[in-house]
Amino acid sequence: MTLTLGALHVGPADFAVMAIVNRTPDSFYDGGRNVELSAALDAVARAVDDGADIVDIGGVRAGYGPEVGVAEELGRVLPVVSAVRERFPQVAISVDTWRAAVAERVVAEGADLLNDTWAGADPELVALAASTGAALVCSHTGGLPPRTDPHRVSYDDVVAEVAAALRGAAERAVAAGVRRDGVLIDPTHDFGKNTRHSLELTRRLDELVATGWPVLVALSRKDFVGETLDLPAGQRLSGTLAATAISAWHGARVFRAHDVRETRQVLDMVASIRGTRPPAVARRGLA
């Protein structure tokens, strides 16, 4: 099944890079470097130059922090969506939100994808995607409400439970009217999971790919990488890229990333090893 996000089409053998552009002053990694609108737009331009196919715009920190209301979230994300749609018509625009009130406005301004990282916390979001034709990410959080961390969470089989939950969420979304070619599933590493859970999800990601739904992975500099290697966020690139290569080999299609150029190179290398992308240059031994 080909995934369609605006003008972007991602086939079963394709990899798409989703660049992270957060306008949050308390982002866990970038520390608020894109709070100013001009900085956010510069970040988008760099990401596109580095090979991003999708830009994911966020206005609320995923974890604990000060309350951010609908009006403030819209104030952060809406100007970026409008400007990106005008300046980069070929780029798919995603907005990281769980709120239908935010989703309605950003889709009207040109967003193609609603990245609902909190697994339907707002029940109106699916209906909004259905009525507007927007694509939708179905995620898994183990039942946690937005902006909370897991505590002593356990699963009999985390991969089986995540696969079943995501398959059900995707099917319910389509039954509600969301485009079948616009649905992705995201195991949502770290959300509702400990580090061992996230490692197992990565190791067995092929089981999620086997559901038939396009898989998005958001691995970039996350805590499971940091705990595995005992490194702070600023030193987690190598671990992130290792997890990216494994996920790509297992068949994930969309990769949410802070480091677009490096992620693009890893995905191109995996595609060439897999045989779905020719080498950019092949002169060795031919002269």
Ordered domains of the chain (ranges, CATH): 3-274 (3.20.20.20)
Q: What is the model's pTM? A: 0.96
DSSP calls for 188-223: -TTTT--HHHHHHHHHTHHHHHTTSS-BEEE-TT-H
Q: What is the pLDDT of residue 62?
A: 87
Whole-number Cα distances in Å, 128 to 41, 47, 131 = 27, 28, 5
Contact 138, 171 (CB under 8 A): no
Q: What is the pLDDT of residue 66?
A: 85
Q: What is the pLDDT of residue 27?
A: 80
Q: What is the pLDDT of residue 235?
A: 98
Distance CA 248, CA 269 (A): 10
Q: What is the set of active-site residues?
A: 222, 256
Q: What is the pLDDT of residue 1?
A: 86
Contact 135, 183 (CB under 8 A): yes
Q: What is the pLDDT of residue 209?
A: 98
Question: What's the residue count for the chain?
Answer: 287
- Angle ∠(222,228,234) on CA atoms, nearest 5: 45
Query: Which residues 6+ apart lie within 8 Å of 163 measured at CB?
Result: 207, 208, 211
Distance CA 123, CA 97 (A): 13
Q: Quickly count helices (H) and strands (E) in the chain.
A: 10, 10
Nearest to 176 by CA among 124, 112, 108: 124
pLDDT (tens, 9 = 90+) of the chain, 287 residues, equals: 899 999 999 999 999 999 999 998 888 777 778 889 999 999 999 999 999 999 999 999 988 788 899 999 999 999 999 999 999 999 999 999 999 999 999 999 999 999 999 999 999 999 999 999 999 999 999 999 999 989 999 999 999 999 999 999 999 999 999 999 999 999 999 999 999 999 999 999 999 999 999 999 999 999 999 999 999 999 999 999 999 999 999 999 999 999 999 999 999 999 999 999 999 999 999 97
Q: What is the pLDDT of residue 126?
A: 98
SS3 call for 258: coil
Contact 109, 85 (CB under 8 A): yes
Q: What is the pLDDT of residue 109?
A: 97
Q: CB 49: neighbour CB atoms within 10 A?
A: 10
